[in-house]
């Protein structure tokens, strides 16, 4: 009985300690983000250090600041800040009274008005006269200009401590109320894979290693390497994967063998588009198989015929396709498989599927499809006037429009159907063209079999230029929404092509929407990594698992939280070499909801012609 009681007390003590630590780190983050844009941004000056400490309810003296910011200090990170806060406790009432007592050098029990003003404006962190006047208004100076601090100090202390707590509370409220600020803190981009996916139930995880030195296939294992400020005894695990130069792109996997020449084929194009907030949207597809059949599915960036010889940024973007089985409700699609075979830029899957309806969800990690940072000088000319004053499209703009036509011609028949054109309209204007409007198009622009030709598409854009009397504003809105920059280069979009071969029936594929991947894609992505990847439990935290999976030229890690509480995981990639990751950050943190899993990051080679090393430490905050 005594042992049980002791165990219970210890357990409750640990829970209380964890709760206190969680509150402490929440206050740290809130204070930090009041001054800096992200908890991954470093403190770069004494002034910033003083500000963040004040936001955390401290009132640092110059001596305190100099203790942590020496002549050798160039910056302090979030972990350093947390360590400082643990050492520098908030001032107590007794400490404040003692401070006032030191001003009374004669031990008379009071401080003169003029003397207090002089001290506040000339010593330590010098205050302005406006700040001093504001404080003095709160004091009880008698007619002789004396302040009895033994009587006045409770009010001063109350004012000081209340103000300090208000700073902390305001910082916490700001963090809780501003989702963008929370994302900045955690280093998240608004991505279709970053949301937490709830787990239906807890099952034993396959391939779980409870040792942090477990080796992944074709990988070496190294000791966890973390910045000195992050060293701790908290639960953590490290993973290291070394990939040889071009080893992923020069694979000899045969995705389409000669035996498939007689199989029935279908093809459909699509595109990934990068939104302003960094989210990636794409076409989604429905596949119908009339009977059970062996099947081969591939996806790769689309080589636009007219773009030969041009700079095609999108050809290096990674692509993937997830195959989901449609059940009675679309809310619960079942992951069947995904394209994990790779041959250069092509990803594929071969297997057998039963008759029925399937969903094909395209995916890219975002490692190589991200907002362009290069500033474009100048602007390409879109229209010009001939000798008669008539508007015409420039050759450069016509070439871009023909490239766009190839991208939005999803079935590749050289014509735009109303359905294909409407995907274009939804992307560029947010509206659809109805049958009546399509009939008007038919009267004014060249069509074949009720579908718009290339020339008709060019003439339609020329009409838009004429409607604006040559003002290219609307034309640029169209181009920018399709991923083009002002130099008419497609840098924020990636057209792709999907090929299907079936042995026993014609695979029928149809684009059904253009939107972000959403929870279905996130769930499929997480499940694929959990099913195929190597699992490690965070040493010292049996409910947190890190899954790492290499698929061709990319590595993905997923965090699974089986506990009843949300957790914050610190992710450190500082020892990785020649790597790009989907978050664009070397060090970041993610919050994982209870009983859920989420993608930590995707990683690819920065330069595939050289060896690259993925070395990551996940640790519990």
- pLDDT tens by residue, 437-475: 999 999 999 999 999 999 999 999 999 999 888 899 999
Say which residue the tokens 């429905």 belong to.
286
Contact 468, 382 (CB under 8 A): no
* pLDDT(5) > 60: no
Q: Is residue 232 very low, low, confident or very high in pLDDT (cuts 50, 70, 90)?
A: very low
Instruction: Give 410's strand partners.
Output: none
Question: Quick one: which H or E segment has residue 273?
Answer: strand 264-274
Residue 440 DSSP one-character state: H
Both structure tokens of 237: 């695990």
Cα dihedral 218, 221, 227, 231 sign? positive
Query: What is the Cα 613 distance to its own chain's centre?
Result: 21
Contact 296, 339 (CB under 8 A): no
What crossing angle do the helices spanning 2-35 and 179-186 adopt, rounded to 10°?
A: 100
- Residues in Cβ contact with 178 at an 8 Å cutoff, skipping those fewer than 6 apart: none
For the residues 207-226, what does the mean pLDDT come to?
Answer: 36
Closest CA to 22 of 456, 442, 591, 505: 591
Cα distance between residue 401 and residue 459, in whole Å: 11
* pLDDT(231) > 50: no
Helix (H, G, I), strand (E, B) or coil at 234: coil
Per-residue model confidence (pLDDT) at position 112: 73
Both structure tokens of 453: 């030709």
Cα distance between residue 471 and residue 466, in whole Å: 8
Whole-model pTM: value is 0.68
Both structure tokens of 219: 């990988």
Per-residue model confidence (pLDDT) at position 214: 36
* pLDDT(191) > 90: no
226-240, 376-390, 582-596: which has the minimum mean pLDDT? 226-240
Query: What is the Cα 102 distance to its own chain's centre?
Result: 52
Both structure tokens of 105: 């050098």
Per-residue model confidence (pLDDT) at position 519: 87
Closest CA to 138 of 111, 157, 110, 119: 157
Closest CA to 391 of 307, 454, 463, 340: 463
Classify residue 620 as exposed, middle or buried by CB count within 10 Å of its CB (0-12, 13-18, 19+). middle
- Residues in Cβ contact with 133 at an 8 Å cutoff, skipping those fewer than 6 apart: none
* pLDDT(123) > 80: no
What crossing angle do the helices spanning 418-428 and 473-481 adopt, rounded to 10°?
A: 100
Contact 156, 96 (CB under 8 A): yes
Higher pLDDT, 33 or 529: 529
* pLDDT(170) > 60: yes
Closest CA to 493 of 404, 423, 411, 373: 404
Backbone angles phi, psi at 341, to 5 degrees: -75, 145
Cα distance between residue 482 and residue 427, in whole Å: 7
Mean pLDDT is highest, among 1-15, 19-33, 187-201, 398-412, for 398-412
For the residues 106-114, what does the mean pLDDT come to?
Answer: 71
Both structure tokens of 616: 């990551």
Both structure tokens of 430: 């947010």
Cα distance between residue 260 and residue 499, in whole Å: 13
Cα distance between residue 66 and residue 75, in whole Å: 13
* pLDDT(225) > 50: no
Cα distance between residue 263 and residue 267, in whole Å: 13
Higher pLDDT, 102 or 382: 382
For the residues 402-419, what does the mean pLDDT come to?
Answer: 96
For the residues 367-380, what does the mean pLDDT come to?
Answer: 83
Q: Is residue 83 very low, low, confident or very high in pLDDT (cuts 50, 70, 90)?
A: confident
Helix (H, G, I), strand (E, B) or coil at 322: strand
For the residues 105-129, what does the mean pLDDT come to?
Answer: 69
Per-residue model confidence (pLDDT) at position 330: 58
Specify the pairing of strand 596-605 against strand 567-572. Answer: unpaired
For the residues 472-491, what does the mean pLDDT come to?
Answer: 93
Classify residue 479 as exposed, middle or buried by CB count within 10 Å of its CB (0-12, 13-18, 19+). buried
* pLDDT(600) > 90: yes
For the residues 557-568, what does the mean pLDDT come to?
Answer: 93
Helix (H, G, I), strand (E, B) or coil at 185: helix
Per-residue model confidence (pLDDT) at position 204: 43
Cα dihedral 573, 575, 579, 584 sign? positive
Question: Quick one: which H or E segment has residue 300?
Answer: strand 293-301
Cα distance between residue 161 and residue 337, in whole Å: 59
Both structure tokens of 133: 């006047």
Mean pLDDT is highest, among 269-273, 375-379, 466-470, for 269-273
- What tens digit of pLDDT does each residue of 58-70 get? 878 888 898 899 8
Dihedral angle computed from the Cα positions of residues 519, 521, 522 and 528, in that order, rounded to the nearest 10 degrees? 140
* pLDDT(161) > 60: no
156-165, 422-431, 476-485: which has the minimum mean pLDDT? 156-165
* pLDDT(252) > 50: no
Arithmetic mean of pLDDT over the chain? 81
Contact 275, 578 (CB under 8 A): no
Classify residue 348 as exposed, middle or buried by CB count within 10 Å of its CB (0-12, 13-18, 19+). buried
Cα distance between residue 185 and residue 174, in whole Å: 12
Question: Quick one: which H or E segment has residue 36?
Answer: none
- What tens digit of pLDDT does each residue of 171-181 get? 666 666 655 45
Helix (H, G, I), strand (E, B) or coil at 317: coil
Alpha carbon separation from 449 to 182, 415, 442 (Å, rounded) = 52, 9, 10
Say which residue the tokens 């993608």 belong to.
599
* pLDDT(131) > 50: yes
């Amino acid at each position: 009985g005594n042992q049980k009681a002791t165990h219970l007390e210890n357990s409750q003590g640990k829970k209380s300690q964890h709760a206190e630590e969680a509150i402490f780190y929440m206050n740290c983050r809130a204070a930090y983000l009041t001054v800096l844009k992200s908890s991954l941004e470093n403190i770069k000056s004494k002034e910033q250090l003083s500000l963040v400490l004040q936001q955390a309810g401290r009132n640092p003296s110059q001596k305190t600041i100099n203790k942590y910011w020496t002549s050798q200090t160039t910056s302090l990170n979030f972990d350093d800040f947390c360590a400082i806060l643990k050492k520098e406790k908030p001032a107590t009432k007794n400490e404040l009274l003692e401070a006032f007592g030191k001003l009374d050098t004669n031990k008379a029990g009071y401080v003169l008005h003029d003397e207090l003003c002089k001290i506040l404006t000339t010593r330590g962190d010098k205050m302005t006269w406006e700040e001093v006047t504001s404080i003095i208004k709160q004091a009880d100076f008698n007619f002789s200009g004396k302040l009895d601090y033994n009587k006045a100090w409770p009010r001063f202390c109350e004012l000081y401590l209340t103000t300090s707590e208000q700073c902390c509370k305001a910082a916490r409220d700001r963090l809780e109320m501003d989702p963008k600020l929370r994302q900045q803190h955690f280093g998240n981009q608004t991505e279709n894979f970053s949301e937490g996916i709830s787990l239906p139930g807890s099952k034993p995880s396959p391939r779980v290693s409870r040792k942090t030195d477990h080796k992944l296939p074709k990988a070496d294992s190294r000791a966890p390497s973390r910045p000195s400020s992050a060293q701790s005894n908290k639960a953590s695990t490290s993973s290291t994967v070394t990939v040889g130069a071009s080893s992923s792109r020069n694979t000899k996997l045969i995705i389409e063998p000669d035996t498939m020449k007689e199989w029935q084929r279908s093809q459909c194009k699509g595109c990934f588009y990068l939104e302003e907030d960094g989210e990636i949207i794409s076409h989604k597809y429905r596949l119908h198989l009339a009977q059970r059949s062996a099947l081969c599915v591939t996806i790769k960036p689309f080589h636009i015929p007219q773009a030969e010889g041009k700079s095609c940024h999108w050809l290096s973007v990674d692509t993937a396709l997830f195959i989901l089985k449609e059940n009675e409700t679309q809310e619960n699609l079942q992951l069947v498989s995904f394209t994990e075979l790779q041959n250069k830029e092509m990803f594929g899957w071969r297997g057998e599927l039963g008759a029925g309806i399937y969903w094909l969800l395209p995916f890219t990690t975002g490692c190589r499809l991200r907002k362009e940072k290069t500033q474009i000088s100048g602007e390409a000319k879109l229209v010009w006037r001939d000798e008669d004053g008539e508007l015409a499209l420039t050759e450069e703009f016509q070439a871009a429009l023909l490239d766009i036509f190839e991208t939005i011609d999803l079935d590749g028949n050289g014509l735009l159907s109303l359905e294909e054109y409407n995907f274009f309209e939804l992307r560029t204007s947010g509206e659809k063209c109805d049958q009546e409007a399509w009939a008007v198009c038919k009267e004014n622009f060249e069509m074949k079999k009720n579908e718009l030709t290339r020339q008709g598409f060019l003439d339609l854009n020329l009409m838009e230029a004429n409607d604006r009397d040559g003002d290219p504003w609307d034309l640029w809105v169209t181009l920018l929404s399709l991923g083009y920059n002002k130099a008419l280069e497609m840098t924020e979009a990636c057209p792709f092509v999907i090929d299907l071969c079936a042995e026993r029936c014609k695979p029928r594929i149809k684009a059904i929407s253009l939107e972000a991947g959403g929870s279905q894609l996130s769930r499929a992505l997480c499940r694929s990594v959990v099913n195929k990847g190597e699992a490690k439990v965070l040493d010292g935290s049996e409910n947190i698992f890190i899954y790492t999976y290499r698929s061709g030229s990319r590595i993905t890690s997923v965090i699974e939280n089986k506990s009843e509480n949300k957790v914050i995981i610190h992710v450190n990639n500082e020892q990785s070499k020649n790597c790009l990751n989907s978050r664009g950050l070397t060090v970041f943190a993610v919050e994982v909801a209870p009983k859920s899993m989420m993608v930590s990051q995707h990683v690819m080679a920065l330069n595939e012609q050289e060896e690259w090393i993925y070395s990551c430490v996940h640790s519990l905050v």
